[in-house]
Amino acid sequence: MKPRSLSIREFRGWRESGEIPLDRPITLVVGENGRGKSSLTTAIEWCLFGREIESAGGLGIDERADWEVRPREASQGPTEVSLGLDAPEGPVTVVRRRAAHASGRGGDEVEVRTPSGVLADAAALEWLRRRMPDLETFRRAHALHPESVRRRATDAADRAAILAILLGLEDDREARERWKDAKALDLVRDVDLRLRRLEADVDASADRPRRDREEVEKRLLARGLARGDLSPERAAALRDDLTARARALAQRLGLDPKLPPVGIPDSEAFHAWARAWPLAARERAPALTGLQARRNGLSHLDAGLAELAPLEDGLRRARETYEQAVHTGGDRPARERAIVEATAKATQAAADLQRASSLVSLLEDALALAPDVDERTPCPVCATPVLGLRARIGEALAHHRDDDVSRLVEAKAKAQAARQAAERALDDLARAERSGHAAREARDQVQKRLAALLPPDAGSPGVGSPVDGPTHDLAAAARVRAEVLRREIEGLEGLAKERDAALARHAADHDLLRDLEAWVSAVARLDREVEVTRCPSFDRLDAAVDAVAGFAADVESLSSMARDAQAERSVARGAAVNRTLGEYYDAIVGAGGRGLQVVVHATPKKIDYRLEDRDGLPAVPVLNQASINAVSLALLFAQAEERARVDGLSLVLLDDPAQSLDAERQAGLARAIERLSAACSVLVTTTPAPLADRVRDFVSTPRRLLHLAPRDVHAGARVERTEDR
């Protein structure tokens, strides 16, 4: 497969190239700096590999780190490169297209136009994958860039890969790299380490029963057991004792604890029960469920009785005060009658005083009207002449005013005081009654609370006089009830103490039992030899280790076979490769060169390739820049020939290959290109230099020279003139 034509749109220095023919064995692109030579070769790579070449990693060119595909003055149209190829199935065109503002991360549009139809996107990429080498191989065997020309000769890894390609051993080399990736030796070392750890663990475990026995023995002896007590029989007896005592306690507590049967061999189940039993006995014993309720009842009864006593005293004192008041001042009706009587007397006294006061007033009026002479004066009432009327009126007035009125005023005051006293007496009695009521009400409240704490038939508060006491023996009943509760509580607390003691002993004995069983187990393990090979899973381990060993041996064997094959091929291909490589190198450097050859150095572990001169010395370390470039070119040309032979891709891109080469070596390079063009289509870019002249004038292969015009900012790079030779 070889190139036929190229068309570039909005790529780097090119805006619109039109169709550029590439159908001659040699195409020489000639132009001064900045006319788009490198962009032209790069456009071909971009068409084939897309975004892969746009970074420093893709082609190994550091300058690509911040590379821009589109020209800054580009139109809104897409970037597009079309590469015409002559493929086995006929003319094919590969087109890669990227929209104006796309970055290529989402994938460019790719299309392959074949005689049988157009493949797009995934199908087009698959066609490229099958027909084209990967970018790494392309970089090593089909393209030369001025930025990376030295690496081909000086980078050890690159050189090794290139020499392997040259010798046709690329597959061997790749396979060996993959086997290295398998890290079979790491796997074997890892497995070996695990097996040694297993062995150490098992060895350590053999000594563990002895340490366990010693530790547990110390504890058991400290608890008072004699050495003679340390036996499985003692452990069994202790386990039975634990069960029997638990059963007895369960009966006392009314529990059904689902005790394990005596002498059970299932140690796990037994210990699970022994751990759970104290909790069940503490929290769920029916016999003790009323203890707290009784404690609460007794507490309330005691509090009620303590509260009741002073209330009863208060009620009794209120009753005595009331009775004393009745005794001394009469009961309520008597006092009410006394008030009525005192009120009547006071009313009478007031009326009497009123009448006396009216008489005095009348006499005073009469005295004022009587003449102030001692003669007969007609009585103003009966008109009978009366001697000394004024004096007589004065006497009557003095009598009534000084005697009757004063007496009546005093009588009225006394009557009023008597009435007030009677009213106070009634108020006093009312207060005594209220006090009695309050005392009784307080007492009744406490009695009700007490009654609620008593059984239904223990009595209830009775009904009495306003200040009377209860007619029943509620307090006595409460005291009796409290006494009953006290005795019951005593009994239950005794049972709880008994339970707690039993559970404490249970816990201590259970600890003892566990130690004793640990001792029995340690002794039993002491009597066994740990043999890994007798473990049930040993066969599985054996098989897994065998599989690892087999895998590692297989990897090593295949690696060894590949190495052998590689060595044999190296020998078989070595002479031919060296002839090709040497001829290219000699062609470029001329007769003064020291020669160049690949020498295979095979060791039992690996195969190494070195570039040596005719004297068998390392070729690269003593070379100058021009010779290193010559080595790089010779390696590239030899590889390109090999790739064209193996994979059929007949294409070499040489971007400014004449750098650092003088006119003589450029003439040699032209000869080398002429030879290469017999196997490959060669696209060379160069400034107007001796190389261009040599290719144009002294090469016999059909060739085409494309002269690039000075770059126009708006039109971009363009072919100014085509010259076919």
Partner 1 sequence: MASWWDEMERRIRARGVRVDERLALLALLRKPEPGVRLAAETSRLRQAVEDAVSAVRAEALRGETRPDGASPGPKGGA
Residue with smaller CB distance to partner 1, 137 or 681? 137
Task: Name the 3-class secondary structure at 608.
Answer: strand
Residue with smaller CB distance to partner 1, 538 or 698? 538
The number of angstroms, rounded, from the C-alpha of 491 to the middle of its chain's C-alpha atoms is: 56
Residue 529 Cβ vs partner 1, minimum distance, rounded to whole Å: 5
Residue 265 Cβ vs partner 1, minimum distance, rounded to whole Å: 17
Residue with smaller CB distance to partner 1, 398 or 544? 544
Residue 235 Cβ vs partner 1, minimum distance, rounded to whole Å: 13
Residue with smaller CB distance to partner 1, 208 or 223? 208
Residues 660 and 626 sit within 8 Å (Cβ to Cβ): yes
d(CA 132, CA 119): 16
d(CA 164, CA 171): 9
Residue with smaller CB distance to partner 1, 207 or 712? 207
Q: Enumerate binding residues for partner 1 (CB under 8 A).
A: 171-172, 175, 178-179, 181-184, 186-187, 190-191, 194-195, 197-198, 201-202, 205, 523-532, 534-538, 540-541, 543-545, 547-548, 550-551, 553-555, 557-558, 561-562, 564-565
Residue 202 Cβ vs partner 1, minimum distance, rounded to whole Å: 5
The phi, psi pair for 29, rounded to 5°, reads -100, 120
What is the CB-side half-sphere exposure of residue 142 using CA atoms within 13 A? Answer: 27
Residues 458 and 319 sit within 8 Å (Cβ to Cβ): no
Residue with smaller CB distance to partner 1, 225 or 545? 545
d(CA 180, CA 472): 108
The number of angstroms, rounded, from the C-alpha of 684 to the middle of its chain's C-alpha atoms is: 61
Fill in the amino acid letter for 238: L
Residue with smaller CB distance to partner 1, 216 or 393? 216
Residue with smaller CB distance to partner 1, 232 or 314? 232
Helix ranges, 254-388 (H): 267-283, 291-329, 332-369
Residue 598 Cβ vs partner 1, minimum distance, rounded to whole Å: 19
The set of residues, in sequence order, having a beta carbon less than 8 Å from that of 104 and lying 6+ positions away, is 50, 51, 54, 69, 98
Adjacency order of strands within the sheet including 703-708: 143-144, 651-655, 681-686, 26-30, 703-708, 719-724
Residue 191 Cβ vs partner 1, minimum distance, rounded to whole Å: 5
Residue with smaller CB distance to partner 1, 102 or 191? 191
The phi, psi pair for 678, rounded to 5°, reads -70, -25
Residue 543 Cβ vs partner 1, minimum distance, rounded to whole Å: 8
Residue 169 Cβ vs partner 1, minimum distance, rounded to whole Å: 9
b vs e for 237-246, b when ≥16 Cβ sit within 10 Å of the residue's Cβ? ebbeebbeeb
Residue 527 Cβ vs partner 1, minimum distance, rounded to whole Å: 4
Write out the E strands in 12-138.
14-21, 26-30, 79-87, 90-98, 109-114, 117-120
Residue 216 Cβ vs partner 1, minimum distance, rounded to whole Å: 14
The phi, psi pair for 128, rounded to 5°, reads -65, -40
Residue 213 Cβ vs partner 1, minimum distance, rounded to whole Å: 10
Q: Angle at Cα 224 formed by Cα 219 and Cα 230, nearest 5°?
A: 70
d(CA 549, CA 355): 150
The number of angstroms, rounded, from the C-alpha of 681 to the middle of its chain's C-alpha atoms is: 62
Residue with smaller CB distance to partner 1, 27 or 566? 566
Residue with smaller CB distance to partner 1, 68 or 181? 181
Unique residue bearing structure tokens 């009410």 = 336
